[in-house]
Structure formats: C-alpha cells, structure tokens
Structure 1
C-alpha cells in the first residue's frame, strides 16, 4: 500500500484535474445533456488509466535526468522510494486498464486507442531532441476531449478537433511557463525546451500568444456548437484566469510559477466544464 501511495505521488494524481474536466465537457456536449452512466464510468477509467500510465512512463524514462536536476532529485524513483521495475508494473497495469475501458466504450475508441499511447511514448523522449516537447504534451492532453466525444457519439467532427487544439495551446502555454524553472539545467544538460532557446522574456510572450489562441478557439466553439450565454461567460472567466496567470510572473520574478501552473490551470479546466454543463442542462436542455 505504501508503494502504491508513493506511485500516486510520483504521477501527481492531483494533476488529473487538467484533462479530465475537458473530457467531461466534450461528453456533455456530445450527449447534449447527461451522458449514460456506464459511458461516464468507462471514460473515467480510460482517462485515469491513460494518464497514470503516461505519467509513470515519463518518470521511468526521465529517471536519470530527474536525478541530476536539483528540482526533481527528490522524486520517487531518483529518491529510491520506487524501483523502475515496480513503476513499470504499475504502468503496464494502467495501460491494460485503459485499453479495456476503450474496448468497453465502442469500436472506434478501441481502434483509435493506440494513438494516445504512441504520443505518450514520443513525449517522454522529445526533450532530448526538440523544443516542441511543449506542443507534444499539448497534443497528449488535447486528445482527452476528442476521445470522450468519440466515446459518446462514435464519430469525429471538426468542432471537437478544434476543442482538442484549444486544449493543446492552453497546455503548451502553461508548460512553457513551468519549464522556465529548468532553463539553466536544460542548457547545462543539452536538453531542448522553448525557454532554453528563447530565454525567459520571449518564452513568456510566446506563452501569452498560445493562451490567446486557446481563448479565441474556445470562443469560436461557442458559435460552432451553438452554445448559450453560460458557456460564453465561463470562457470569459477563463480568459481572466489566463490573464491573471501571466500577471503573476515576469522575467524578473518567477517565484509564483507553481501557483500560476497548478492553481489557476485547475480553475480554468473546472470552469470550462462547470459552465458548459450548466449551459447544456439549463439552456440547451
């Protein structure tokens, strides 16, 4: 049990709050109301399995890098709390659970299920050869609403792909902010990231541009999905959160990166879901 708790700490289970609400957002829109309970349960199982396996995989692959980085040296594998073999077992179990959940959802989910796994593997190696690692992470989380849509509707459309793109730019924007903490380490170890190449000031500018793109795509989805004023209000609130996120940090003060990273992004994902849910139930319903 202690090992399992250490594993949950290692994968930062609390960070599930970033992607899971967007999966629920897509599910509610696809169902035009409350999705069937069995669908909701299997979406949760698939999301938890996929994210758990993905984070565990990243920690195993990056174990030696984490050991060298003072910021990450106390993570569970570098600190010796969990062996790589133990983490690998949990990863295999997680991915098996994910695959079973997609099988239980529908045929298209199961057929497309290997795509996220390939993205997870690719992301874990990208910092070794490209600064686009932030974009790849955005793609990984952007698949959450697309997958949930497929789970409910059994098909794909342009709108849900756009929602995935909006999530992509939102994630890439805040991941650039998070990567500012390791700018010196990345240069020292020849690891690739946008902050390493652009520096703090221009990385913050690019992060703002990414968040502007995400905001306007979410606004466009108001028209595409014929949403009501509550959805629009929720997106405006999220825009305020993103604006405040960038007010918290500057090129001269990065002391509040963790607040900007976790707290505000959790508020953003939950706000999108709650206001979309209320909009669909109270206005479209």
Structure 2
C-alpha cells in the first residue's frame, strides 16, 4: 500500500481554546446553511443530502434546488463573505464578522430571497444541548477571521487524506463531507450488512434520523475541531461496535481508545507534529478500519482494493 508524500505545506496549528467562541458561532452558521439545503433537497441515504463540503475558499452547500433554479450557499473565509449564487448568475453577499446568530440568519435569509430563492428552515439547532432558536440567539459572538482561516487550511489537508483513503474501498463509501449537526468532517465505509436499530438519544435530533443514518454496518472516521474535547481530534468508530474492536492493534502510537465514547481518538497535534502528517493520518484511518473490519468479520476480500493513483485505472 502506498502512502501520500509529505505535504509540501505545513499543517497549521489550530488550538481550540483561543477561537472556541468563534468556532461555536461558525458551527451555528453551518447549521443554518445546512438546514436550507435540508429543506430543499430530496432525502438521500444517511442524511448525505444535507451535508456541507470543503472548497479552496471555505465551505459550501453545493447545488441546492430552489424555485429560482439551482442555488448554492458558501462561506468564503479568504474574503470574509457569505455568498449566495444561482445558476442564472444572480449573486448576493454579506460580510462575515462578529454578530449574533440571529443576525447571520437574517443576512442569509435576505440574500436567498434577493436571488429569488425561498428561505424556510427548521429554526432550532440539532445535536446541541439547550438549543436556542436561531432567531432568539441575539448574543453578539466574536469572529476571529485568522483562526477560521487556519481551521480551513487544516480542513483542506484533512480532506486530501480522507479522499485518498476513500479510494481503497470497492463497496459503498460516503463522500468526504461536513456534518453540521456535530460539526465534523467525516468519511464512512459500509460492509453491506444490516445493523441493529440505533438506540438514538442524540440531543435535539429525531431518533428516526439517527436510526436511518445507522441502518447498516459502518466503519466511520472523522475530525472534530475540539468542542467538548478541548483539542482538535480525529476519531474512528464502528457501528455496531464489535466486542473485540477496542483490543485491535492500531497506529500511530498516539492513538488511544476512549471507553466513554466507544471510539479510537488521535490528537490533531500528534498528526501535525509527525514527520509526515499525511502518512500518519492515513495510518490511523487504515488501521482503525482494519480493526473494525477484522473484529466485525467483514468480507474484506470483496470490499477492499488498492488505493487510487492519479491517471491509473484500478486493476481488475
């Protein structure tokens, strides 16, 4: 198995505490954007129709069907703008900055309407305790644009490795996408087997959504910027969790098992500090997937393939 070469660009330092309040605001902004996509897009398995995607400049909903045609919402972290565009060429923007969540929602609503779209969303955050409706969240929140840019640069590098990892699987595998409910960038592999009903219980999320998301066996990995953990962190879990999953050998050495979460964790700082961050992260993704597949008795011979190489068709 080949690994990516060392990244020519250093991975940025993104300690969570200095930009924690900005990160919470950004999380809530992405919820509002994602709920617009959710309101207009036909349901796709495992809520893939509602996610956001990393771009060279920030985050986007991608194309969303609306009465005015196709609409996209984007956060441009380089120019500090929220951008709403349509396939007809209409474009509206407003600046990102310190503001209440209600102010961001009002700006996005007005921009969508200005390009001919409709803006009617579920108005309360999901997967957050004590969720305050967006229109009532008027408390001014800071916006550290420099920290957001650093976070975005980390997402770009993580996206690259996640996308490489995604190529080594023949069966169903998710896009690399950002779930705005939990604010994590994720990629998920599926064994093809049905899973037992998920118990649900996620704060402010209907159990039916959680149960549909985990309708089949998965090995899932992702990245959190640090909320609830205190530092940026990679994770990997399996659902259902095989009995011997936590006992499997994994890499790198900085990886640990968190019994409370039921997941393997790897600090972003350990990846960043390694001689080859891309390879270190890919080792984590690969070894924790193998731990799930082995302990879960997946049919690895029919599910796996060599990782892709640019310009070279997969050998068959």
* Shorter-chain TM band: under 0.3
Structure whose residues are more often strand by fraction: 2
Structure whose residues are more often helix by fraction: 1
TM-score (normalizing by structure 1)? 0.28
